[in-house]
Amino acid sequence: MNIKIQNLTKRYGAQKAVDDISFEVKTGEILGFLGPNGAGKTTTMKMITNYLEVHEGDIIIDGKSIKGHAGTLKRHIGYLPEHNPLYTEMSVLDYLKFCAALQQVPKGSIPDRIREMVRVCGLDREKHKNIGELSKGYRQRVGLAQAMIHDPEILILDEPTTGLDPNQIVEIRDLIRQIGRQKTVILSTHILPEVEATCDRILIINRGKIVADGTSATLRKQAQGQEVLRVRIEEGDHEGIYAALQNLYTTQLVDVIDADTNFYEIQSVTDMSSKYEVFKLCVANGWILTEMTPFETKLEDIFRDLTLN
């Protein structure tokens, strides 16, 4: 199911938590929602899941506006809220049964769905315990299990991997990626490598506005128009190498990082690459090229650039 968000705005008093945002998510896509605290991620998610009412703008799911079809659309959405609230006095199995019944899973297939979720989320050893007795990581798994119990078309996960240990994080990421092939997934997170590892597309929002939208590769390209290489050339005269590098037609700027070991940073002319030229230059002069690293802008830097202002 496709989700289309049109000019969505949410006000709390005079403050706009979400300010006129529009975007689209298609089936088979995993959208990562990034942004500093209070940027409006959770508010947007709450509106998609129908917890908060939409007053300005619209959310269209599968061609239907959420305003008139909340009842039917809710059945196709699985939601893991931010702090993962759960009924601590219920056992894991009872709770999953309750959620399945509420989401109108046909009575006959409830046991199968529960068994499937227990397996997928690794809850087998804890399934008879009360939720209150579980550790944070296991509670998070229960939260994921209840979100997916009715095999929803759309999965909205607000910080799904908080509280999980590194192994669990890898498992849950794999799971999300697997689900994301056929479903529509929106997840929010603070953990930047997580977005890169799981998401097809990244949406960065800041103060209620979208500041970037694209794959991690396109975001990098946007943030950094020119190629940057780090090059180390041994067995050569520093002055000569420096001058030769600067004379290449592809280089725009050469910075000396360390003159003793002949370590340079080369910034190429826009839309050109200096890799071949540097290599040829070394071959022609008999210099030994010991390092050539394309220097990528980290997602952290992009995030900081876009959200710190």
Nearer to other proteins, 54 or 299 (CB): 54
The Cα–Cα gap between 209 and 212 comes to 9
Nearer to other proteins, 10 or 127 (CB): 10
140's tokens:
């998070």
The verdict on 93 binding other proteins (CB under 8 A) reads no
The Cα–Cα gap between 191 and 300 comes to 10
> How far, CA to CA in Å, does 164 sit from each of 19, 159, 167?
32, 11, 8
Number of residues near other proteins (by CB under 8 A): 28
Name which of residues 1 to 60 contact other proteins (CB under 8 A). Answer: 46, 49-53
The verdict on 75 binding other proteins (CB under 8 A) reads yes
The Cα–Cα gap between 249 and 302 comes to 29
Instruction: By CB under 8 A, name the one of 5, 92, 99, 211 that touches other proteins.
Output: 99
- Which three-class secondary structure state does DSSP give residue 234? strand
- Helices and strands: H and E segment counts in the chain: 11, 14
Residue 87 beta carbon to other proteins: minimum distance, rounded to whole angstroms: 6
**Burial of 58 (C-beta count, 10 Å sphere; 0-12/13-18/19+):** middle
Nearer to other proteins, 107 or 125 (CB): 107
The verdict on 166 binding other proteins (CB under 8 A) reads no
Residue 8 beta carbon to other proteins: minimum distance, rounded to whole angstroms: 15
The verdict on 225 binding other proteins (CB under 8 A) reads no
Instruction: By CB under 8 A, name the one of 13, 63, 68, 85 that touches other proteins.
Output: 85
Instruction: By CB under 8 A, name the one of 63, 71, 108, 286 that touches other proteins.
Output: 71
The verdict on 108 binding other proteins (CB under 8 A) reads no
Residue labelled with tokens 């227990």: 118
**Burial of 254 (C-beta count, 10 Å sphere; 0-12/13-18/19+):** buried
- Which three-class secondary structure state does DSSP give residue 158? strand
Residue 103 beta carbon to other proteins: minimum distance, rounded to whole angstroms: 5
The verdict on 83 binding other proteins (CB under 8 A) reads yes
Residue labelled with tokens 């089936």: 27
The verdict on 128 binding other proteins (CB under 8 A) reads no
Instruction: By CB under 8 A, name the one of 15, 104, 109, 293 that touches other proteins.
Output: 104
The verdict on 221 binding other proteins (CB under 8 A) reads no
Q: Which of 162, 141, 138, 175 is nearest to 30 (CA)?
A: 175
Sites of contact with other proteins (CB under 8 A): 46, 49-53, 71, 74-75, 77, 79, 81, 83, 85-90, 94, 98-99, 101-104, 107, 146
